[in-house]
Chain A
Amino acid sequence: MSLSAPLATQRRSPLAWRPSTRFAFASLLGAALVALPILALALTALSSQAASIWPHLAANVIPTALADTGRLLLGVGLLCGVIGVGTAWLVTQFEFPGRRALEWLLVLPLALPTYITAYIYVEFLGFQGPLQGALRALTGWRSLRDYWFPDPRSLVGAIFVMAIVLYPYVYLSVRALFGVQAATLVESARTLGASRGRLFWRIGLPMARPALAAGMTLALLETLNDIGASEYLGVRSLTLSIYTTWVNRSSLAGAAQIACVMLLLVVMLIVIEGRMRGQRRFALPVRQPRAVGHVPLTGAAAIAASLACALPVLLGAVLPIGFLAVEVLRRDLWQQADAALLRSLANAVVLSGLAAGIVVALGIGIGAARRQGREPWLPALSRLASLGYAVPGTVLALGLLVPLAGFDNILANASVRWFGFNPGLLLMGSGAALILAYVVRFLAIAVSGVESGLSRISPRIDDAARTLGASAPEVLRKMHWPLARPAIAAAALLVFVDCLKELPATLLLRPLNVDTLATTVYGHASRGSFEDGALAGLLIVLAGLYPAIRLARASGRRG
């Protein structure tokens, strides 16, 4: 090295990479983790066993599954969009009775696992449920031969159940945008005398597009990889087809092939999301944003707004939570509250908490790399890191089994050879495998949360800070972190709640003698009636409730 080289370069230790490279490393790590099960899956799909089953799948399984899945996605997307955007607009723009409470109550349905809400609606709307019971008592009708009643075990039922659980994804991300960013524009438009309708259609909705796309993508991916509710409600989705192909034909290869078709669909969804976000960037001005003032509503309009916002809360949270609580009382389920249940609670909280921490750390690295790095492959890496969210939990867990257990075996054999001691399976035996599965599965939430948090910070801030001599990590720590913290905290809480609810990967990858709340509910449901698991179900909801409320508050301030 010549002496004329700048001193700074010479003093650099080998570990001190170019700042963006350090974050790029986080991107690589995240993407590699996610790529692991997907590659395992692709390899399985290409195996020789697969060739023989493909024609059958293509002719008899995939067309129906695609059609059903398409209808499901369309329905859930529309309903989530209408509920999410509509309620977000109402609570950010207007003042009406109950607005302050509804603003955070609207997030609550997220605390419920989709499969639990599905079970509850089948009971609630079922023949022995309160509605049909009351109807029969009123009319004297005796059986379903005398009258017709909507059956939740149908495509429409599935659309309703999933939308009522998942709309908060849209609500949260759109509300954050309406509350802060649209403020200046909306106020100017109001001053110029624009009507309420015009405000919404010409300013609110177009501005909400990137947030709508982000929230909708999460909701639709959840819909796509759902298995519990789809199976119970009788929707032959792609995910369910993957599952039955695997279980009945013992054909993991066939299952992997359908999973690959599904991944293609997901890549399409993500590309569409990218297009919808498009080149539009709604970065904040450097000045602190001001929240928009609420326009008071009166009379019928006020009541209508209250009702419109209360209805999703009622259907998505109050009714299901009330149902669980009533079952706990009616069946005397308190006796289940023993040490084992408390251990399940502790396991669920610790596993979910650790996973959320790791996910968010990786998410910040990936987000920072995308913002500060110039490498053209960084955006692609962050997209790849998000793919895990699209893979159904069962498939993901199966894909992780081979590499993780393989790693364990190599380690155990090496230990035996060098130290004469067999530590057993390190990852599979310790719950680390499960945490890794959560990380792969939910990394997308952190990536999108961090990205949306950072994208609202004007690049001019970065430029100013760098001009004044701040290093890239300093910009992240001193400028981005404080500004994006609410969005990042929101992502962490969301991941935590999702891990609490996760079932299929938890079932497959947990070590001996370890249960979580979700597996406890499943244990009861598979044994007898799911109502026997109402207490554990209620605990999932309660454990998720606090983060959900925090979430609502955090993103309500200036997301």
Chain B
Amino acid sequence: MIAKTHLHALALGASLLATPALAQSVNLYTTREPALLNPVLEAFTKDTGIKVNAVFLKDGLQERIKAEGANSPADVMLVVDVGEINAAVDAGITQPIKSAVVDKTVPAQLRGPDNNWVTLTKRARIVVVSKDRVQQDAITYEDLADPKWKGKFCIRAGQHPYNNAFFAAYLARNGAEKTEAYLKALKANVARKPGGGDRDVARDILSGQCDIAIINTYYIGLMSKATNEQKGWYDAIKPVKTTFANGGTHVNVSAAAIAKNAPNRENAVKLLEYMLAEKAQALYADGNFEFPVNPDVKESAAVKLLGAVTPDTTPLGDVAKNRKAAADLVDKVGFDN
């Protein structure tokens, strides 16, 4: 019994120590999901011969790389949300991406300060309504505060990063006073305590608990593809064209950066260039119904399903800067209580 355990331990130890291979490899730290990234990473290894070692984290990616310091194996970090990638830059754990391909493919406003990060895909946060009970094809975010939605509006927790970024964008456009009033009005409209996930709002529309809700676009795509009960949730909702009054749609990004102490910097650049090329964009963006950042990709699954989206012009950097203030306001009005 004891000997057996030791053998297992040795086997594990060996497999753990074997990771930093001497062959061509690149080490990826990401908060994205394994099932979404693995097809792209496998294609990359097949096409380039470079092995990808990955660790899939939830939070704390930045703290971990920072703590690991000069000897960190991290080459590439791949995260969702502009706030998180900007925070990594602020923490001093990134380096400028030097690549003509990146510069050519991605417009400057979708790259970080001094090219410290680059957008890979975009996703929008939009309104869905009950197909049966609401006849409306377009709406503004501001309209959600209308008292006519009292007891009919569903949303996940206001402190969730998706809502946090959305409220930060609202704050960047409208200032603190109006945003506080907006949050209060939204809170007054909720049908249930803010919580659950984005898909849950679709389910709650199906169950009749609410008529109108806010959701990230790719969830709509994923539910449309579902073969289980989520197909029923999808069938109950209708996405509507959503914009700020006199503005565009709130868009967030999935983005990548190269770690400051990357041991395999050249391979890191290769991975980023690969992910921006048409083939991987199709795999990665379509795999999750996100909007490709490469303008050469004309036919994406997201556009086919939802139509083209015009992003709001508020700079992403301003959204990131307002995150803390938005989080404070959410607490102040007791949005999640």
Contact = CB atoms under 8 A, between A and B. Distances in A.
Interface string B256-271: 0000000000000000
A350 B8 contact: yes
B64 interface: yes
A60 B11 CA distance: 50
Nearest to B210: A144
Nearest to A511: B16
Nearest to B60: A508
B154 to A, nearest CB: 12
Contacts of B69: 405-406, 409
A175 interface: no
Interface string A226-255: 000001111010000001101111111000
Contacts of A531: 228
Nearest to A411: B71
B175 interface: no
Given A56-B328, A126-B203, A531-B228, A246 B68 contact: no
Contact of B60 (A64, A401, A422): A401
Interface string B186-211: 00000011111001000110111100
Interface residues of B, number: 66
B12 A232 contact: no
Interface in B1-56: 5, 8-9, 11-13, 15-17, 19-20, 27, 33-36, 53-56
A350 B12 contact: yes
Which secondary structure dominates chain B's binding surface? helix
Given A60-B331, A60-B332, A401-B63, A144 B209 contact: yes
Given A153-B195, A250-B324, A398 B27 contact: no
A507 B203 contact: no
Interface stretch (B108-116, B156-164, B177-185): B156-164
A250 B327 CA distance: 11
Given A248-B324, A430-B13, A513-B53, A422 B71 contact: yes
A514 interface: yes
Given A61-B331, A406-B67, A513-B53, A430 B17 contact: yes
Interface string A386-403: 000000001001100110
Given A127-B203, A244-B327, A353-B5, A424 B71 contact: yes
B60 A394 contact: yes
B239 to A, nearest CB: 19
Contacts of B208: 142-146
Contacts of B8: 346, 349-350, 353
A425 interface: yes
B145 to A, nearest CB: 21
Contacts, number: 183
B196 A234 contact: yes
B64 A401 contact: yes
B87 interface: yes
B19 A504 contact: no
B311 interface: no
A512 B55 contact: yes
A523 B35 CA distance: 7
Most buried by A among B35, B60, B164: B60
Contacts of A430: 13, 16-17
B72 interface: yes
Most buried by A among B87, B193, B230: B193
A481 to B, nearest CB: 16
Nearest to A243: B59
A354 B9 contact: yes
A37 B230 CA distance: 42
B292 interface: no
Nearest to B17: A430
Given A429-B73, A523-B33, A531-B228, A249 B57 contact: no
Most buried by B among A153, A249, A397: A249
B71 A425 contact: yes
A408 interface: yes
B323 interface: yes
A331 interface: yes
A247 B161 contact: yes
Interface of B: 5, 8-9, 11-13, 15-17, 19-20, 27, 33-36, 53-60, 63-64, 67-73, 83, 87, 157, 159, 161, 164, 192-196, 199, 203-204, 206-209, 222, 226, 228-230, 232, 323-324, 327-328, 331-332, 334, 336-337
Given A247-B161, A528-B35, 17 more contacts: A151-B192, A232-B196, A233-B195, A234-B157, A234-B195, A248-B164, A249-B323, A401-B60, A409-B69, A425-B71, A429-B16, A430-B13, A512-B19, A519-B56, A523-B35, A526-B33, A528-B222
11 contacts: A60-B332, A243-B59, A250-B323, A346-B12, A347-B12, A425-B71, A512-B27, A524-B35, A527-B33, A528-B222, A529-B199
Interface of A: 56, 60-61, 64, 126-128, 142-146, 151, 153-154, 231-234, 236, 243-244, 246-252, 331, 343, 346-347, 349-351, 353-354, 357, 394, 397-398, 401-402, 404-406, 408-409, 412-413, 422, 424-425, 428-431, 504, 507-508, 510-515, 519, 522-524, 526-529, 531
